[in-house]
Structure 1
């Protein structure tokens, strides 16, 4: 024990005390002034690696001549000999000459690893500038091929037929989680990721490597900035704002970036058809603290506190539907209110030990704690009637005849308290310049306390409607009641659940040549063992094995084309929501869903109009077994928790991106998807995420005559999702679809000052960037429905699906200032 304490004290305090050192730092650039990542910087036995911005910092001995060596697999070795004084900071920014391969008129240099891995990289600048009702990374992700969503108020997205719970999200290699009880997009609050703190965003829609966790659909890998100097930024709009500050200590050992965000969605929510007293507010604080103890040891802490509050009091609603010749309206008067609150605390420690330039270890520990509540009692009294369509009538547009009246009472007292702890160690070892090995081991403990109490009572024209799952025929009002009185829907459950998980991976990376052609190979395997205890019964210990591989091939052609083939097993051991069935009961022996992926893609880089472009095409197929089927109510998922289904998904994705306008990046994306499931061998039907066609457009432009004026356009079109039928309905009897989802958000910005536009006015001297913007959400005022409300006409015994529309056209003003 004493030895351990001595080692800790030595690591944190001893470095720099017993030896006199200095520091060399800088940014590594290529001939085109692009930063170079993963350059090894070495002096003697000490070394470091440059980050995604090309930045490096290395401690060197003082008062003696030392030779600094810069090496990279794609660039020629560079050396510099220096002699520094104790505690001196010396800045050296070398330009490395690449070992380029000339292919026709296209030059392929370094920084190609993500292209080889099939990862889509998104610029943080694009993320910050593109408008959206829920701005941020998820807003941009939804424009990519294979990514689907029909809810602009939600950060949730589905990828290639998967559901919202099948996507991995990492920040600085630390897995982050979403709330458990969310039932609609407006309750999710802010995305965990603070866009102002982001340095790099990578996204993979399938076929990802073994080092990523056990989910079946996608990986979003986000890296926060490691500050190099003092900076501050302010974003403010009618929807809220954010303030971010970052800096570094004088000795370059400590750095910190902290962001505070506040958002008020009243402007968006109050544009919906339901008149409400509703002010949903979201607040969070995030901080990333870094400590460079030495050239070999780095430590960091990532912390987050988030609180979302909802005080919802609906007043009235009128929805017009039907046809031109037979218009119908639903009028609802509400009484009651909803009070929801989500409090999330998150903290993670990370340590990186760079033994030398070829060996690295990482130690990560994180804790996630969430306290969530949903309390509501809302009574809705409705009238379903015919609308006067006679233009000359004095009552034109009014309801003149009621087909049915009724009421609906919804009640809930839902509480959840979840504590999740993770401890992980990772290793990276480079055996040769062409072969590397990565491995990792992780322990997770989940402790969840959950209470569900919710019910719904429906009364139609004085006749209480029974639960649809009861096997009684309803012939009211023509025959008397012959069934027991019961709520239309009722869920009551209390669960105390603990889950212990052990997981690990190992993978091998290799690159080589076949004649004049190049290839890259990644092969690995994941293993996951878990056991669930629901407080009454301890489930069986279960194990899954997931082998995965990627192969990339670059032929020696005149055109710059890269081909990829990736696939393997992608098992998803159940998380808490997947263990809980529609009655709220936790089933401890739910098995992992299994999916076999096969992804074939081509990546073509070319020049057009003397500007760079890229076309990526991907063809994919998934075969899924032990599927845990579910229904979706808004974005709330209810699982059957029985693994009694199989499914498949296949499709094609394409994305063309480049400088359609000089100096700006834009892209067009297209996706085709078909996914079906077979439950209990009843036959194949569309899955809830079977959204067949998708078109996405992200476009940036400026006015040549007025270069200060910038234009941003974000456009998404998705065909309708299954989900037009009641949530309780048998999906084999109802395969209705919602209408197509169409949305365009536009932004106009006047830039007073930025990197390309100078401004000598005294007001703007302290700022590096200053702009004022105007945004239009839902530019064409499309009526997009997320679900249907089902209302019964007691006289004709018909049911009507009344669309629940999302937000209408909304205007916003935005101010951006950066120092």
Structure 2
């Protein structure tokens, strides 16, 4: 009897233990009403719980086979309570939408995604950046799907915004301004963008009318925030174009966090697909790190470092370009000798100390240093012939060159070297007083630049040396010229320049109400003083002030509408490249280019197919004076450095984004732009960036019956840019345009592991995410051109434009993984 009682007791306790050990799992992502992730949400049941991470993800283990009430709480949102009764071992995905708390509505508007919309800032999803296909994938690739942002070269990460050029865009990473190499002239020489997408947490972008806290540029602001890790994570992305890896972690005491990323890129896949046969040996690589140490709850110190080395070795061999019409087909055949060797080495480091005095006052001190050492050396002889192509259908020699109409040669030489050291020290702060917010900054910058520019070009046609294009009475090669031989183009300059800058800003913003409508104000002013000095040049000192303001209102209407207006006087004090004229000489008295911005925008949020959508519209006008005219060839900008023009730009940008496919965000963009300049009062002509129409789409989809099979489509159409004329030509005599730019990139990805598809055993257990896919760049194989090569035909006594085509259709294989 005792044995039976003992056995019964043992079974009873075993049953209790087994019942208690039975558990289930709830996991998901927490979003706000703007479809943005909410971090630091407390998820609790009884006395157990967890917290959502910076991407809104959470995992919670609860007892199985009984009712469990789980509460989701956040200081800025209404609480959510749900009761779960799950089976043992069951995993349930629960993705709550948190609505703004009535008591905390002011805080939410100022600090959430809606605050960005109020300020006219577009926020991009870092996950979309990592997934969208592109020959130069990254943040800039995603920017090109936005209205008003253009780039006609898939090998380049540079972009123009609303009629501005590549030099008119600000880029910040963790409040620190970053720079680009100076000498790059071709997109295929660029290599890597500064921004490492594996390290990105937030991406904010403004295309104009931005606040005084952002620096002195004329066009746009790209504001990147890197992650502050909270747990171990490793990412890898490998393709035929290169590889990137990143590792992040936080110490056990939560005081020290670090994220490090390394990248390597090889453009051979793209360049070897072009019409020029080459020996191409690129090596683009960098390593970045972001480290943070919390000395206390009030004082944090972080370091952002980057080291990159781009080596570009290029030996062109032959080229054949067919052009003309079906009735009159022609071809350019070129045989090359020589090579080009370029190297761009950059080092960047920045310390940022943050002191949180209290809930209302935050102070920062930032010190950064950027060094670039650049080398561009080339000697290339190109011997060409211009021929007539056999167009007889059925002929065995169809497409072959039958005879030559003109022959010639071109010898280019370059020995360009640049060493630049840029140091910054800045104090920033912000203070909150009830509904008021005050921001300020004081910054000192020193730029020390040593530059050697030696370039010359000799052109020969049928035995005669072609004289410089502006030589009087030059009829070469049709009539002999008895003067001394001169290069067709010749630039020689040796510069040692120093620029000292003092910048400051102060701005105020406030949230308020007008009746039942929410309103937001912002007003601020920037000051910029700079001094240019150097060997052999007279010192010059200038100062400008830039007032700016914004106003937004959200009426208390049934329709969710937001209206905003922004205006200001924007200056762009010249950077070194803007001081250097066509002959390579520094002009210290170049003034800051000036622009008046007026931007009027509207956001309309609505539901379609019972899913959220937003239509964003902006009209803008920019009046520019003291404009520094320039020529644009590929990605190389050469300024006149004389402030001899005035200009204007106006247009309309529209973007519709939302869940066209449930659970994924896609968008369609449209942009209209007109920008013209008046140089030396000769009348208005199109600026080099006058790209009238733009259509773009970013579309994400998946197969309904196979949701792990996903598709990403990136479409861009731009009307042609001016630039079909020779770079040395008078723009008032040549206003030719390049053909329209049309490109579509497709990515197909099969997901083996993601947050909704985890494995407890087997080889996939080690992965948090794992996918394989293929990418097709330029899927319709469109022949886009970036510039023209101009060849003189002696037979017809004319110059013929031969297009320089960009990359054709290219296939890529890619895999991504996360541990």
Q: TM-score scaled to structure 1, two decimals?
A: 0.89
The Cα shift of 1:112 comes to 1.5
The answer to whether 1:387 aligns with 2:389 is yes
C-alpha contact 1:75 1:110 (8 A) present in aligned 2: no
Aligned residues: 751
1:5 corresponding residue in structure 2: none
For 1:328, the equivalent position in structure 2 comes to 330
SS of aligned partner of 1:625:
strand
In 1, the alpha carbon distance for the partners of 2:727 and 2:558 equals 55
Q: Which moved more, 1:116-125 or 1:389-398?
A: 389-398
Question: Are positions 1:272 and 2:274 aligned together?
Answer: yes
State the distance in 1 between where 2:563 and 2:99 align. 27
Cα distance change on mapping 1:513 and 1:72 into 2, 3 Å: farther
Q: Distance in 2 between matches of 1:190 and 1:141?
A: 16
Trace 1:703-714 onto structure 2 (pairs within 5 A).
703-714=703-714
1:460/1:708 Cα in 2 relative to 1: closer, same or farther (>3 Å)? same
The residue correspondences of 1:616-655 to structure 2 (distance < 5 A) are 616-655=616-655
* Structure-to-structure mapping, 1:239-254, within 5 angstroms: 239-254=241-256
- Going from structure 1 to structure 2, the CA distance change for 1:241 and 1:494 (only over 3 Å counts) comes to same
Scaled by the length of structure 2, what TM-score is found? 0.89
> For 2:684 and 2:353, how far apart are their aligned partners in 1?
49
Q: Which residue of the partner structure matches residue 803 of structure 1? A: 803
Q: 2-side partners of 1:622 and 1:329: how far apart?
A: 43
Instruction: Select which of 296, 316, 328 maps to 1:294.
Output: 296
Matches within 5 A, 1:217-232: 217-232=219-234
1:531 is displaced (CA, Å) by 0.6
1:694 aligns with 2:687: no
Secondary structure of the corresponding residue to residue 396 of structure 1: coil
Q: Secondary structure of the residue that 2:437 maps to in structure 1?
A: strand
Q: Secondary structure at the match of 1:582?
A: coil
Contact conserved, 2:378 with 2:414, CA < 8 A, in 1? Answer: yes
Q: Is the 2:278–2:318 Cα contact (8 Å) retained in structure 1?
A: yes
CA contact (8 A) 1:534 1:588 kept: no
In 1, distance between residues paired with 2:589 and 2:75? 48
State the match for 1:121 in structure 2. 123
The Cα RMSD (Å) is 2.5
Q: Cα deviation per residue 1:156-188 (whole Å; 9 max; x = unaligned)?
A: 100000000000000000000011000000111
Secondary structure, counterpart of 1:312 in structure 2 = strand
Shift in CA distance, 29/744, structure 1 to aligned 2, threshold 3 Å = closer
Q: Is residue 438 of structure 2 the alignment partner of residue 437 of structure 1?
A: yes
- Superposition map of 1:519-598 within 5 A: 519-598=519-598
Conserved 8 A contact 2:464-2:476: no
Asked if the contact 2:239–2:812 (Cα under 8 Å) also holds between the matched residues in 1, the reply is yes
The structural deviation recorded for 1:518 is: 1.0
Q: Deviations over 1:686-717 (max 9, x none)?
A: 00000000001000000011111000000100
* Alignment partners' CA distance in 1, 2:586 and 2:385: 39
Q: Distance in 2 between matches of 1:480 and 1:753?
A: 73
1:281 to partner: Cα distance: 1.6
CA contact (8 A) 1:415 1:450 kept: yes
Cα distance in 1 between the residues matched to 2:777 and 2:534: 45
Superposed displacement of residue 537, structure 1:
2.3
After superposition, the Cα gap between the structure-2 partners of 1:692 and 1:535, relative to the gap in structure 1 and judged at 3 Å, is same
Alignment of 1:392-471 (within 5 A): 392-432=394-434, 434-471=435-472
**Which one of 190, 199, 202 corresponds to residue 201 of structure 2?**
199
Contact 1:100–1:109 under 8 Å retained in 2: no
Alignment of 1:44-443 (within 5 A): 75=77, 98-100=100-102, 111-432=113-434, 434-443=435-444
8 A Cα contact 2:466 2:477, kept in partner: no
2-structure distance, mates of 1:661, 1:39: 27
Deviations 1:180-215 (A, max 9, x none): 000000111100000000000000000000000000
Per the alignment, in what secondary structure is the counterpart of residue 664 of structure 2? coil
- Secondary structure of the equivalent of 1:407? strand
Q: CA deviation at 1:396?
A: 1.5
Partner of residue 58, structure 1: none
Match of 2:45 in 1: none
Compute the displacement of 1:31 (Å). Answer: 9.3
Secondary structure at the aligned position of 1:268 is classed as helix
1:515 aligned residue: 515
Task: Provide the rounded CA distance (Å) in 2 between the counterparts of 1:176 and 1:246.
Answer: 22
Structure with larger Rg: 2
| 2:664 aligned residue | 664
What are structure 1's unaligned runs of at least 5 residues?
A: 1-26, 41-49, 56-69, 79-93
Name the SS of the counterpart of 2:269 in structure 1: helix
d(CA) in 2 for partners of 1:28, 1:393: 67
| Aligned-pair CA distance for 1:538 | 3.3
- The aligned residue for residue 793 of structure 1 is 793
Cα contact 1:229–1:248 (8 A) shared by 2: yes
Indicate the SS of the match to 2:707. Answer: coil
> 1:344 and 1:524 mapped to 2: Cα distance?
34
Q: Distance in 1 between matches of 2:664 and 2:637?
A: 39
What are the equivalent positions in structure 2 for 1:470-489 lying under 5 Å apart? 470-477=471-478, 479-489=479-489
Match in the other structure for 1:601:
601
CA distance in 1: counterparts of 2:104 and 2:604, whole angstroms: 15
**Distance 1:703-1:229 versus aligned 2 partners, 3 A rule:** same
**Offset from partner CA, 1:231-270 (integer Å, 9 cap, x none):** 0011100111011000011100000000000011000011
Q: SS where residue 300 of structure 1 aligns? A: strand
Cα distance in 2 between the residues matched to 1:524 and 1:37: 31
Query: Is the contact between residue 98 and residue 110 of structure 1 (CA under 8 Å) also seen in structure 2?
Result: no
Rounded Cα–Cα distance in structure 2 between residues aligned with 1:210 and 1:71 = 35
